[in-house]
Structures are given as structure tokens and as C-alpha cells.
Amino acid sequence: MDEESYNNSAIAGAINRAFVAVKVDRDERPDVDRRYQAAVSAAFGVSGWPLTALLTPAGELIFGGTYFPPADRDGRPGLATVLAVVAESYREERETVLARAAAIAARIARAEAAGAGPVTPALRDRLHASILAEYDFAHGGFPAPTSAQFPRPAALRFLLRRAVERADDESREAVMRTLDAMAQGGIRDHLGGGFHRYTVDRAWRVPHFEMLAATNAELLRVYLQAWQATGNTAYRRVAEEILRFTRLRLADPAGGFYASLDADGPDGVEGAPYTWTWEEVARLLTPEEARAVRTYHGLAERPERVAGQPERNVLAIVRSLEATAKTLGRSRADTRALLGAARAKLAAARATRAPPAVDRARYSDANAAMITAWLEASVVLDQPATRAFALASLERLLREAYRPGRGVGHLPGPAGAGLLDDAVLTAEASLAAYQVAREPRYLAVATELAESIRRLYWDPATGGFRDRTPVDGEGLLGRPARPVQDGALAAGNGAAAQVLVTLAALTGERRYRDWARETLAALAGRAGELASVGGAYALALDLYLEPSAQVVVVGPGNDPRTLALWRRALAAFRPGKVVLLSDSRWPPGPEVPEPVRAKLAVAGAEPGPVAYVCAGVVCSVPLREAAATVKAIRTFATRSMTTR
């Protein structure tokens, strides 16, 4: 639209004569984007980017949509037509236009203020059913009405927890089918690692090529947890590739992570750094390598997949290694070696291309999400360097954006109070760091942030957390919004409830659990409509209703046996678990959950390092061996014995 419309002098003149033009960076102002996306979607049934909204002077919506060509085309109104019609209507029928804008605003306000409801297992089951109702049995995923496929990491983590905790085979199949489809599809960069933002088709083949830190942070956690739950090493390889991609392309050497890679190459052609003509492939590879790539990755001379570029291929996996080997008449080992050699040549050739531009902004919400994912990866994959960089990145985030009593800025620097997501996800990262680094200061930061979030963002009228502190202003910009729909990152209210449940488990403070319940209850009236975009809310509800395991390792903190037991407990899989290390002393300190303290008081001090696994008010016997501890973490008080 920049090239076609806003650089068109006639259209620019029409805008400047009748309108005040405002261009918004949706990454810097997700609060503005959220309000107008919701308004355009509610009023006209479409949303997305670029978003074009025509407003009253008070900021209420008159008309909106996504892409408008300069002139009418293929049944779509052109921007010139839209501008002329709205300007004339506003001049000639102003009262009617304002009344329609007020009606749109009232509809949005009613939806935003949807009532509270009970926090019950029935609500969770309804959410679970609504997510599975969207599941695409043919391709995996939860496609949008337009057939685009966006990853839904929070929904997948919720389904994975259902599979593990309740032996739910339907949830397990949906997770694995979706993760397999994404790993094999064009949404994944098969040469460089990492994932693009979404695909324009249901089969995950043709991506929008932008690569976000937020998307890759969330998918890193999902693939790590899926590997732990299933033992499928393909999921581990995908997670390791995401780590490598973010380390090479998005990590700031000084700590933290850049926001994204552009979808276009320097020549302005979308996907140019990632796609291939058949002529390029044939020139770079031997005939046998080219045949192997053509068979395995489905390359063609005229693929007709990338819009406007019918000659360019997107790498995907369209046949199994076994099927490819059979087609080639080779062994699996030979075929694997042939494909490896071919991909190495393609990667080397791609390295000579001009790379996509990097958005070097360090948004706090995406940085915090990536820090949490890297900390999880560091313990699951036993990577001390990953842990060290994640902790250094958290230190930089806290130093440059955290303001005690005022939340977390969306960008580094002193201006503004930041947004709910920034504070919530920084609290989540701090809780992860507290468990991984045994540093009480991180727990103090998370606790302070929880108190600040409640004070700054809680909506006293409706309950739930607003996405920002109240602002003066008319129209949609001045109205509160309570984020509950997941985007690239988990929605603020679902993520906040998860943080509060975790904080209650780590501290024993009842009020955090009460706040989580109040958050969930305030938005229960909207939850039933969310389906796959309500994954963070559903996961928080599940963790509230059935708290996960609390693991306490008791022993001298400088004893290698204690540390070895603690590290194995950290790496063991159980969705939502918390792990504490308590130095040996008698009686046990307040960092030990009440059920364990009560158990220790009856049993007396145990010799040597021991671990306890608790679920609710029930705890395991003292566990001294790492293998027994890991087994108890995975299975204690669950309905499933199927985890790896």
C-alpha cells in the first residue's frame, strides 16, 4: 500500500484535503493496534495488516479494512473510492455517520464488558472442546476462516498438558499432528532454522516470510515440551534449530533479542532470501542431489506457490526419508547423506544472498518470552551457555526497562509505563530465572511486578487486567481493553493468571492464587468464544483447577549430590511444575511449601539430599535417587503413565 497508494500523489492529495493521516507502528503500539483490529473485525468481519481505518475526530471507527488497492479491482473497492465515499458521507450526512460510528463503538464496548462467570472444570472442558472443534484433521493446526495457518503455541501447550495429565489421546494427536505439519511445512526455514510468522494456506506450505522473535520463543517451548513428553527426537532437532537461528540472527551480543527479520529481501521481493528457482537448484547440485531434493522437498520447475513468483519454490518436506529412498533406489543412509550434501550447498549459496533486514528494536514482551524459552532450553538440553546468555539478557531487560512500582517499559528507556504484556512476561521470566539460578532477587522482582500489575492494570469496574494504565482521551483510544486473545505471544490476562498461579506455588502466598481466580472469573464470559486463540487462558484455568507438581530438593546447597538431584528435577518434564532447592536446616524454612513442611515435621530430618514431589496437599515419600525423582515428577498424582 505504501508503494501503490500512499506514494500516489492523487491519493495523497485526497487524504490531505479531507483527513488527518496517522501511521502507527503496530509493534511499538500494540494497544492501538488491538483496539482498531477488534473494531474493524467486529464491524466489517475482517482484520489483519495492513489495517486501514477511517475515524471520526473523536477516534471512533467509520469504515475500515485491510488491503485496499489504489483503484477498484477484482470486486475490491480502491482506496481512492473509499476516501471519496467516506469524505462525502461525512460532509453530507454527518449525523448518520456519527450515529453509525457510535453504534460500532457500543457493540465493541458490550463485547469487551462480557460478564464474569464461575471458574469450574465445566468451563475448562468447554474450552477444550472448542479448541478441538477448530482442529484441522487433514493438515493439523487451527486455520483461520481465510484458511491462513497461524501457530497457536499456547493452545498446543494446553492440549499437551491435557495429554500428559489426563491421558487424553485426542489432545495428544492434535498436538503431534500440528507440530509435525509445521516442522515439515514451508513455515519452517529448513536451511536456517526457525519459523516464519504464518502461512497463507491450510497445508503450511507458503509462508508470509517475516520471522518474529515472539513466534520463535513460543514455538521453542512447545517443541521442547513435546520432545520431553513423547521422546520424538525430531522435536528436539527442531528446538535446537530454533535456538541456533535465534542465536545467529536475533540475539544482540550485548544481551537481549531483536524483534524480527523482514519478509522481503533488499530488493523488496517477498521471500527472496528463502526461495529457489529450479534452475538455481539444478546449477548448484549434482543430478542425483537435485533428484533427491526434488523428491524429498517437492521442488518443481513451476511450483506456482509464492504469489507473483510462479517460478520460485519454498522448501518443505513432502515425502518421508523412507519413501524418498525407495523412489531413488538407495538406502536410507545414502539418501540422508545425499540430502545433507544438497542442503549444505543450498545453505552456502543462500549465505551469499543479501539477507533480510533486521528490526533491532528490543521489545520487552518478546524479549521476556525468549528469555523464558532459553532458560527452559538450557535445563532441558543441558546447555550452560544458553543459560548464561538468557540470564545476561534478563539482567539487561531489568536494568533498562524495569521500573519498580511502575512496571516494565515496552522499549528500553525511561518513557512511559509500558504495557501489561511487558510486565507479565518479565515476571514470568524472573520466576523461571529464580528456579534455574537459585537467585532470590529474581523472586523479589516477580513478586514486586505482581503487586504492580495488580495496582496498575486491574480494572475495578469489570475485573481482569487492562492492557495499559488508564489514559485520557475520546473514542476507542481512551477505552479500556482486557486482552484475552492470543497473538504471537500469549494474551496478557491468560499469561497473568499463569504467573499468579506459579507465584502462589513458589511462595505459598494465598492472595496470588485468589488474584488468579478473580482474573479467570472476570473473563469467563468471553472464554467460551475464544477456541484456539484462548490457549493461554485455558492453560491458566487448567493450572488453577489442578495445580501442577511442586518439587522440593532438600540438602546442602554446596553438596554436588544435592545439585545433581536438583538439576535432574529441573530438567524433568511436567507441565507447569515448580522446583525449589532448600538448604538443609531444621525446621525447614518458609521457601518450602506447606505440605512438605508438615511432612518433614512429622518425619524428622532425612539424612543426605532428598526430593519430595507434591501435588495439592499430597507429597511423595522421600526420594534420594535421580531416576526415582524424575519418574515421580512425571507421574505423581496424574491420570497418565504415558510420558517418556
Over the chain (644 residues), the average pLDDT of each successive run of 10 is 90 94 92 90 84 93 91 89 95 94 87 84 95 95 86 97 94 98 97 95 93 98 97 97 98 98 86 91 95 92 64 91 95 96 96 94 97 98 98 98 94 82 98 95 97 96 92 81 93 97 92 97 88 96 93 87 94 93 69 68 72 85 92 82 38
The rounded Cα 310 to chain-centroid distance in angstroms is: 32
DSSP, residue by residue, 92-128:
HSHHHHHHHHHHHHHHHHHHHTPPP----HHHHHHHH
Listed in order, the ranges of the chain carrying CATH 3.40.30.10 are 2-112
Between CA 583 and CA 555 the distance in angstroms is: 5
SS3 582: strand
- Domain 276-352 annotated CATH 1.10.10: yes
| CATH class of domain segment(s) 550-635 | alpha beta
List the beta bridge partners of residue 613.
551
- What the block records as the C-alpha cell of 124 is 475448562
Listed in order, the ranges of the chain carrying CATH 1.10.10 are 276-352
SS3 639: coil
SS3 276: strand
Amino acid identity at 160 = L
What's the burial of 293, exposed, middle or buried (CB within 10 Å: 0-12/13-18/19+)? buried
C-alpha distance from residue 32 to each of 39, 359, 400 (Å): 11, 20, 24
Which positions ≥6 away from 45 have C-beta within 8 Å?
none
Per-residue pLDDT, 451: 97
210, 207, 206, 208: which is closest to 305 by C-alpha? 206
On whether the CB atoms of residues 195 and 244 are closer than 8 A, the answer is: no
What's the burial of 450, exposed, middle or buried (CB within 10 Å: 0-12/13-18/19+)? buried
- Work out the widest C-alpha separation in the chain, in whole angstroms: 86
Which positions ≥6 away from 80 have C-beta within 8 Å?
10, 11, 14, 70, 71
Between CA 363 and CA 399 the distance in angstroms is: 14
The rounded Cα 217 to chain-centroid distance in angstroms is: 6
Per-residue pLDDT, 585: 63
Q: How many CA atoms does the CB half-sphere of 29 hold within 13 Å?
A: 10
Per-residue pLDDT, 642: 38
- What the block records as the C-alpha cell of 360 is 533491532
DSSP state of 257: B
Q: Which fold has domain 2-112?
A: Glutaredoxin (3.40.30)
On whether the CB atoms of residues 139 and 149 are closer than 8 A, the answer is: yes
Helix axes 121-134, 169-184, angle to 10 degrees: 40
What's the burial of 287, exposed, middle or buried (CB within 10 Å: 0-12/13-18/19+)? exposed
C-alpha distance from residue 355 to each of 111, 234, 264, 310 (Å): 43, 27, 9, 22
- What the block records as the C-alpha cell of 490 is 500469549
274, 128, 64, 255: which is closest to 188 by C-alpha? 274
> Any idea which residue has 482484520 for its cell?
47
